[in-house]
Each structure stands twice: as C-alpha cells, then as structure tokens.
Structure 1
Amino acid sequence: MRASKGLWIVLLLLVLQREAYGVGWNLWRGNDLVGAVEIREKGALRLVSLGGVAGAVGLSFREAEESLFLVGAKGELELIKNAPVARMRAQIIPLASPVEAEGGLWWIETGTALRLLNLLEGLPPARGFRWAGEGTPSVPLSPTSVAGGAESSPPGTSLPTEDVESRFEKLTASVAPKVPGLPDATGGDGAEPKGVKSLRWGDQGEIVRVVFDLDGDQEPKVFSKQDRTVLVFKGGAPKELDDCPVAGMALSVTDQGDSVTFTIEHSACEMRHFSLPSPSRYVVDFFDMKPSAGEPASPSVPSPVPRERTDGRSGKAPLVVLDPGHGGKDPGATAFGLKEKDLVLQIALKMEAELKRLGADVRMTRRDDRYLKLSERTELANRWEADVFVSVHINALPAGRHATGAEIYLMALPSDKDAMQLALIENKELDSNGDASGGSDKRTRLLLQILGDMQQNAKINESTVLAEAMFRRGQQGKLPMRRVAQAPFYVLRGAAMPAVLLEMGFITERSEARLLADPTYQQRLVASLAPGIMDYVKGTP
C-alpha cells in the first residue's frame, strides 16, 4: 500500500513538473535527439519558445528594442516583435504567423521554427531539424538570461481545475510512441497549404477580369471549352467567397483539401489567362462577353457614389493627391547631373494637368523646391480627404547593377530583398543639417510590425487594385513596366485612402535618365499612367 502511495506521489510530482514547464515536443537534428522544447497552443497555431529552442540547440541570442537576434553557423537572424517576417543577410523571410513576446519569452509557430533553424545552421530539410514525440521541456531561456548570464526562473506552477485522475491519464497517454496531432518526422506543423487567398472581379462591359490572389507562386491547371473554364489550384479555398457578381456568369468552387477547383461558366468568345508576380496573382480575362437571353449586360462594380466632403469642395470630381518625392535639402537619387527631386516635380506637374483634363480634381503636396517630412505628405492628403494618393519617385541602383522600367509599389510586407532595400532608402529623413537621420531602419521595422496586423486590411487590397490599373495602362501605352510590388514605405503609412508609390524609371541607367529628363517622354509617361488612376477612381479597374 505504501509502495502504491509512493508511486502515486511520484506520478503526481511528474504531473506538476510537466504543468510547471508546459507541454514539450522533442526536437531532433536528423536522428539525434536535441531536447524537449516548450509548446503552447494559441487558436489553431502551435507556438514554440525561442528561448527553449536556443537553449536546446546551443544558439546565442539577444534582444534589442523590438527585435530578437539569433546567431547560428550561417549568420545572424533578426525577428521583429508582432511581425510575420524575419531578416537574414538582407533577405526577407515571410513567416506563417507573427512573432509574439509574452511573459519575457518570444514565441514562434513550430513549423516556422524548424525552417529558421535549418536556415541558421545551413541544413537541408531532409537532414535538418524536426519534431517527433513529447517530452518534458527544460526551463526556457530568455534573451536577458543569455545576454547577462543570469539564470531565468521557471514559470509558475498554478494547477488547472481538473482532477488528479484526468491529469494522470494525460501523463500516461503522453508516453505512447506516436502522439496524435504532432507533426511527423518531415517537420511539418499541419499549417494550411498555400492556396487562393481571395478572388476579385472586374467588369468592363465586353471584358471581364477575374483575379485570384495567391498565397505563394503557383500555376494552376486550366481546362477550357466553349462556355466553361476550370482552374485547379494547389492548397485551400478562400475563407470567404462571394457569389459571382457578373451577369451572365456563374462560379462554383470545390475544395478537395489539398487542392481547390474553380469552375466559371461564361459566354465569352475568347479567354486569356496568365500569372503576375509580386504579389502573386493569377488573372483570367474573358473577352467579347455577350449578355444572356433576356438579361442585359451590367457592370459588376457600381460607379463610386460621391462622398459628402467637409473640405469645402462641392464638385463630384474625384480628388487625386500627387506627391513629388524629396525636395529642398533632399535631392533624392542623383546621376549624370540630374536630381530626382527636379525630375519628379516636372513629371508630377504634367500628371496634374493630364488628370484635370480627364476630369479629376488634383492637389500637389509641393509645387516648388521645398522639403516636406514623410509624415507631412500624407497628412495633407488626409486633410484634403483625397480619394487616391500617389507618391512620385525615380529609382536608382548601386554601381554595377542595371535595370530599366517603371515599378508601382504599395505599402505591404516586402516582395523581395530589392523591394526592402528600396524601402530603407526611401524611408530616410534628413535632419536640420541635411544628413540622414539614421532612423530609417528603425522606422522600417516599425512598419513591418504594423503590417503584421494590416495584411488583410481593405486599404492594401484597394491599393493593389489601383496599382494594377496603373500598371495595365502603362503596358497599353508601351511603357517599360517592370512590376507591381510591395514594401513598407513610410510615406504611405499614414494615408487614409488607397496609396501607391510610383518609381518611373532608373536615374542610374544612362539611357533611361536621358528619357526621364525629356519633356516628350515625360508627357508620354503621364498620358499612359493617368488613365489608370482614373480607371480606379471611376470604379472600372
């Protein structure tokens, strides 16, 4: 009896230890057990303590302001609090969910942790880190305990309200060789497969455009016959999906779990489909749409209803605010005797005239060579209650690198390291002596944090539509259009309306610099891009 009671006490102590340090998963490096790391569940996510991972693997790490730095064999990795993005050697690494800081510890999604560990240690997934089985975790380290050498205290030992028998059953169940719900040896965490995030429709009468916003690059399988087009994407379907808003067309969706099938019934005489990068999209255009019998064709997107304004403007014309970048003590990019601040002002003034000719009301953040802070530019647009904000710039590349063409950016998580580097440059502000203030990197990290909560924001979606409309018109005008991309631009942060940053070409490319300074080419630029802005504000992008 005493032996039985003693065993019961030992088991209860094991339960207490388990609950004091949380549930642990065993971390393996190849076939070698590294140790058990604390895991906690948050909604559908399983999060791992970065301190526990660092302690088990033997990584050094430190905390600085809103960032955590992990150091491995291949270099230093920066994680940003509340941001779903990491940085390593100027490379932007998207994460499955934002990094969280709670109780002095940093937490990250378990599958993402494996990917970052393999990156830090230079290991291929087949021979890298993986999760398999449960164990009792060690005390998770905090950044301060590593940096200062102090020993961290274990978490509290408060017990749940369930009875001892229930806890005993949980404890004995955990020794099973296969734990349901845990990832297998491949290292996955049951994260949702990449697929279609959303679906957008645009009706221009005889042309209907369907845009599939994708969570990662992929080419669907496309099957088409006279009145039906079928697209099969890998991954899941959008969480919310509206009915087809276009008269004479119908949409049905079949979600098979690891793939999703979209069937579009239509009356088009011709169809075209193609992919677009940065952000990833797949576009299907239907041409020469014919109305169904007895049903007149009607646009799917209603014309915008003019808003009542408080700024004294009584007209119904949409208001576009143009923001010529830089100015005054800030010349922007310079090359071949040209200054960005001068060229963008010349082009913006021509853009103003063209937009007015097309029926828009236009205001400029500057009409002469003056310096404005980044925040002041969108403050003006907000005060004027603008419908659209377009910041006008000219691109540049370091010596030895070459590129030409226009790019249109919206404020979102960066598409790639070039987009991120451009944001760091454009986010610089000058102090009273005309020197860079040094706050660019900190300001950009702040934006990454903000964007962690903004990624599904309607303004980002609307800005994407605006950028696509301008890009399409630029292509129609035979301009050298490079791409629509995204990056955390501070000048766009405060805009309460759809906003894009337009890079009209590269001043560091001699042939393009000559064009950008040519009044004839400047007029060609604005004649092509201004109609794209008008397409958007009229609701026909």
Structure 2
Amino acid sequence: MVKIFIDPGHGGSDPGAVGNGLKEKDLTLTISKKILSLLSNYDVSIKLSRTGDTYPSLSERAKMANDWGADYFVSIHINSGGGTGFESYVYTSVNSATVAYQNVIHAEIIKAIGGVKDRGKKRANYAVLRETNMPAILTENLFIDNANDAKKLRQDSFLNQVAQGHVTGLVKAIGLRQKLQPTQKKIYFYTGGYRGSALVKVHDFISNNGWWFVPERLNDGSIAFLVGEFTPGTEKANTMENFLKENGFWYEVR
C-alpha cells in the first residue's frame, strides 16, 4: 500500500508566518487534517508529522517519514512577505519522477483554488526536501500577510478547496485507487402461512407490485411466501414491511 506522509508546517512554539489575525501553524494543521480525511477514501496509508499544536524539528519530520518508509512527502505551508498566490517547491537536485509529481500536483491545486495567482513551480534547499529519502513537495498556499489572501484563508470552504487540490493531485500523480465500497446486503421477506382471504390478500399485493416470490406449502396446508430481493431502507422494502405490519401478518427478514 502506498504511504503518504503529510507535514503540517510549524507548530507549538513556532507559529510560522503571522498576519491578519491568522497563524500559519493553525492553517497548515487544518489543511493537513482535511487532506487526511479526503485521502481516507483511497487505498493509501497516511501519517502526519503532527496532529496537534506541537513542534517536531525539521530533521525529526524528515526522519519520521524516512523511518516509516513513506513513498511521498507533502509539506504544507502558508507564505508571507507581501506577495500573493500559490507556489510549490521541490529540492534543488531531484529526479524526473519528483518533477513529474510536482507538475501534476501543482496544476491540480491551481485548478482547485481558481482565480489565485500562479507563482510557479520552484526549487529550494529546504531541510524537509533535502533530508527526505522519497519524492517530496512543499506547497505555499497563499500569503498570510496579504489582506485578500487572508480573507480566503479564513474561509473553511476555501481550505476545503486547497485540500482537495492536493488530494486530486496526489491521486493523479501517484495513481491512487479508491477503496472498494462493500456491496449492500440484499434482504428477503419470509411470510406465512396463510389461508383463505389472507392468502389472497398477500398473494395479490406481491403480484401487483411485480416482486419476485416463491410460494411454500407448509405442513398445516397454509401457504408461506419468500419475497425479494430488497435493498434495506428503500421505498420498496419499506412498502413491503409496512403492508405486513399494518395487516398484522407474521414475517421475518432473511
């Protein structure tokens, strides 16, 4: 199973960039947890460098990912310095696979947060990129000290878009597969046994609804019915069950 390591930048005594009433460490953790939640729908194992307001050192973050044997490393950050927009980084010297991953992930984030300035795909000698053994990317998601960017960063809906862009990029770049959803169990109603008018009433109700059924003659001469198949909670299943209950007919669900 693919292992993805998510690194919410800063934390604890290191707030990261601060501006417009926001702290980078809070935003990076929020975005990272949203990424974690979205990735839970895929066949992937995920680990975060921190899940609360703590500060692992940069080397500790890289070591955690290396020791875990991560296949990909994503470090989440918020920019500062008076600019605006989104940019991404890989290490100064990387292989073609890392560049290809950056190309895909960067493009998907820009698409997800449409209308934001694309500051480009860059390279830098950042510790978490330099010291990790696997392909790694660091994203700078808008500028905390820019009033217009900060307005977006305050919106949970925008942070959802940022997270979704990262996830869509990872899915496309790495080829993640969605988890198979278990097939919902089908049910049958077993009724009976009936004679006379009750038998006719049950038979006609089943027939008029066009449902599959099998009659069964019991030892006492009455007729029982196996009726199905139904998906639990659907209108058809509820209609059948309500009919039986309203008429006081015995039944069991199989």
- Mapped contact 1:360–1:534 kept (Cα < 8 A): no
Q: Identify the residue that residue 84 of structure 2 maps to in structure 1.
A: 404
Q: TM-score, normalised by structure 1?
A: 0.31
Q: In structure 2, how many angstroms separate the alpha carbons of the residues matched to 1:334 and 1:468? A: 29
Is the partner of 2:50 in helix, strand or coil? coil
Give the letter aligned to residue 108 of structure 2: R
Q: Identify the residue that residue 485 of structure 1 maps to in structure 2.
A: 122
Q: Identify the residue that residue 9 of structure 2 maps to in structure 1.
A: 325
| Change in 2 beyond 3 A, CA 1:528/1:514 | same
| Residue in structure 1 matching 2:137, options 500, 517, 520 | 500
Q: TM-score, normalised by structure 2?
A: 0.65
- Mapped contact 1:469–1:536 kept (Cα < 8 A): yes
Q: Identify the residue that residue 52 of structure 2 maps to in structure 1.
A: 368
Is the partner of 1:331 in helix, strand or coil? coil
Shift of 1:521: 0.6
Is the partner of 1:357 in helix, strand or coil? coil
Give the letter aligned to residue 375 of structure 1: S
Alignment of 1:175-186 (within 5 A): none
Q: In structure 1, how many angstroms separate the alpha carbons of the residues matched to 2:109 and 2:30? A: 19
Shift of 1:464: 1.3
Q: In structure 1, how many angstroms separate the alpha carbons of the residues matched to 2:50 and 2:110? A: 28
- Mapped contact 1:516–1:522 kept (Cα < 8 A): yes
The sequence identity of aligned pairs, in percent, is 33
| Residue in structure 2 matching 1:465, options 97, 100, 122 | 100
Q: In structure 1, how many angstroms separate the alpha carbons of the residues matched to 2:50 and 2:131? A: 18
Shift of 1:536: 1.6
Q: Identify the residue that residue 538 of structure 1 maps to in structure 2.
A: 175
Unaligned runs of 5+ in 2: 177-254
Is the partner of 1:503 in helix, strand or coil? strand
Give the letter aligned to residue 356 of structure 1: S
Q: Identify the residue that residue 342 of structure 1 maps to in structure 2.
A: 26
Alpha-carbon RMSD: 1.7
Deviating above 3 A after TM superposition, structure 1's stretches of 4 or more consecutive aligned residues are none
Q: Identify the residue that residue 509 of structure 1 maps to in structure 2.
A: 146
Give the letter aligned to residue 329 of structure 1: S
Give the letter aligned to residue 486 of structure 1: R
Alignment of 1:280-319 (within 5 A): 316=1, 318-319=2-3
Shift of 1:475: 3.4
Q: In structure 2, how many angstroms separate the alpha carbons of the residues matched to 1:345 and 1:495? A: 20
Q: What CA deviation, in whole Å up to 9, does each residue of 1:61-96 have, x standing for no partner?
A: xxxxxxxxxxxxxxxxxxxxxxxxxxxxxxxxxxxx
Q: In structure 2, how many angstroms separate the alpha carbons of the residues matched to 1:482 and 1:509? A: 15
Q: In structure 2, how many angstroms separate the alpha carbons of the residues matched to 1:368 and 1:478? A: 26
Shift of 1:478: 4.6
Q: In structure 2, how many angstroms separate the alpha carbons of the residues matched to 1:478 and 1:350? A: 15
Q: In structure 2, how many angstroms separate the alpha carbons of the residues matched to 1:517 and 1:319? A: 30
Is the partner of 2:40 in helix, strand or coil? helix
Q: Identify the residue that residue 109 of structure 2 maps to in structure 1.
A: 474
- Mapped contact 1:323–1:391 kept (Cα < 8 A): yes
Q: In structure 2, how many angstroms separate the alpha carbons of the residues matched to 1:382 and 1:478? A: 31
Q: In structure 2, how many angstroms separate the alpha carbons of the residues matched to 1:366 and 1:477? A: 25
Is the partner of 1:363 in helix, strand or coil? strand
Q: What CA deviation, in whole Å up to 9, does each residue of 1:505-531 have, x standing for no partner?
A: 100111111211211110011112211
Q: Identify the residue that residue 70 of structure 2 maps to in structure 1.
A: 386
Q: In structure 1, how many angstroms separate the alpha carbons of the residues matched to 2:29 and 2:113? A: 23
Shift of 1:393: 0.4
Shift of 1:406: 1.2
Give the letter aligned to residue 409 of structure 1: Y
- Mapped contact 1:387–1:537 kept (Cα < 8 A): no
- The reply on whether 1:395 has 2:60 as its aligned counterpart is no
Is the partner of 1:346 in helix, strand or coil? helix
